[in-house]
Amino acid sequence: MTSDTTAAEALDKLTETRQRLVAEIRKSVVGQDEVIEQLLISLLARGHCLLTGIPGLGKTLLVKTLANCLTLGFKRIQFTPDLMPTDVLGTEVVDEDPNGGKLSFRFVPGPIFSQVVLADEINRTPPKTQAALLEAMEERQVTIAGETRPLQSPFFVLATQNPIELEGTYPLPEAQLDRFLLNPVIQYLPQADEIRMVGDTTGQDRPQPQPVLSGPEIETLQSLTRQVPASEAVLSYAVRLVSASRPGQPGCDPWLTDRIKWGAGSRGSQALVLSAKARALLQGRPNASREDVKAMAKSALRHRILPSFLAESEGLSSDDLIDRLLEQVSD
């Protein structure tokens, strides 16, 4: 950040913006504070977000509500077993000139040519269609019929998926999972929140969320996130944490080596640091800390660490392995 005064003003403005944004989201969504924070962190960090949870917990509603709070183009793609890559990316059609009869190709863009894309139930479509998102998510462009077409900025993929244990799901390829900055897990609401939610949704119509942030404002906040300082100690801690998830690498203890099939790559370290910076900024702090890294560890790494057969036989999940990582790696 350029100066103390500028930084303080930016933090104050962001705090106000966050309060307005959460207030609008609250018009439609009850509870899920941690998940909402992680969605906002993904937005600030210019990353994509994969929201996991069983059907009926409000994943789609939460994503649509956030999209309504942004003055950006929005498209929803319902992923189904028969969805084709061209249904996502677009296709070329043949046009005939009514006067001369001359034939020409015309590109019809798919829903990926928007700014906020809801990929709903992404793991209900086969890998071929899932992979159609790879280039768009990583390079913010798509190549169709040999021509590369840029996507609008900012570009944000918000995907939802059901747990892979459910019938009719296709596990996302590891390369696809790695493109998501964060993987929040949406849980059942506490009983008090569920009572309030049922009362709100079975009564009179509630007010609709109103836009809070424009595209240029989002890009300014994303630039500001990159400027948040992270000390050498914070960077070292994030890298050591990720390195300790890799079997056979220095720092990975024997217990974890036996229970991790493969660990997070360098993109995991980048995700940890970027999300830690965004979390600090969102909470009104001018620099990222190791506590921010710890707080983001599960959301940034759970989809990048694959438990081994031994871990699965012992009933251990990625979250359990990350808990062990946090215990093993010293500050």
**What CATH code is carried by the domain that includes residue 219?**
3.40.50.300
Residues 130 and 234 grouped into a single domain: no
**Predicted local confidence at residue 321, as pLDDT:** 94
From 295, 277, 294, select the one nearest 286 (Cα to Cα): 277
Count of domains in the chain?
2
- What pLDDT shows up at residue 276? 95
Look at residue 303 in the predicted model and tell me its pLDDT. Answer: 92
DSSP letters for 151-198: PPSS-EEEEEE--TTSTT--PPPHHHHTTEEE--B--PPPHHHHHHHH
pLDDT of res. 132: 83
CATH number at residue 294: 1.10.8.80
Q: Are residues 45 and 99 in the same domain?
A: yes
Would you state the pLDDT for residue 272? 95
Contact 70, 213 (CB under 8 A): yes
Q: What is the pTM of this model?
A: 0.87
pLDDT, residue 45, reads 93
Residue labelled with tokens 């759970």:
302
Q: Which residues of the chain have pLDDT under 50?
A: 1-2
pLDDT of residue 293: 95
Residues 98 and 67 in one domain: yes
For residue 6, what pLDDT is reported?
59
Indicate if 219 and 265 belong to the same structural domain.
no
292 and 165 inside one domain: no
Both 242 and 217 in a single domain?
Answer: no
Parent domain of 73: 19-198+212-227
Amino acid at 168: G
Peptide bond into 154 cis (omega under 30): yes
Query: How many other β-carbons are positioned within 10 Å of the β-carbon of residue 32?
Result: 23
Bridge partners of 117, per DSSP, are: 75, 157
Q: Given this model, what pLDDT does residue 307 score?
A: 93
> Helix, strand or coil for residue 76?
strand
Residues 58 and 86 in one domain: yes
Within a domain: 9: no
Is residue 5, in this structure, part of any structural domain at all? Answer: no
According to the model, what pLDDT value does residue 44 have?
92
Q: Do 185 and 103 fall within a single domain?
A: yes
Q: 218 and 239 share a domain?
A: no
Show the tokens assigned to 20: 């307005």
The alpha helices in 165-265, defined as continuous H runs, are 174-177, 191-201, 215-227, 232-243, 254-259
User: Residue 52 in contact with residue 298, Cβ under 8 Å?
Assistant: no
174/323 same-domain check: no
**Alpha-carbon distances of 175 from 133, 135, 156, 245, 288, rounded to whole Å:** 11, 11, 18, 17, 28
- Looking at the domain assignment, is residue 12 inside a domain? no
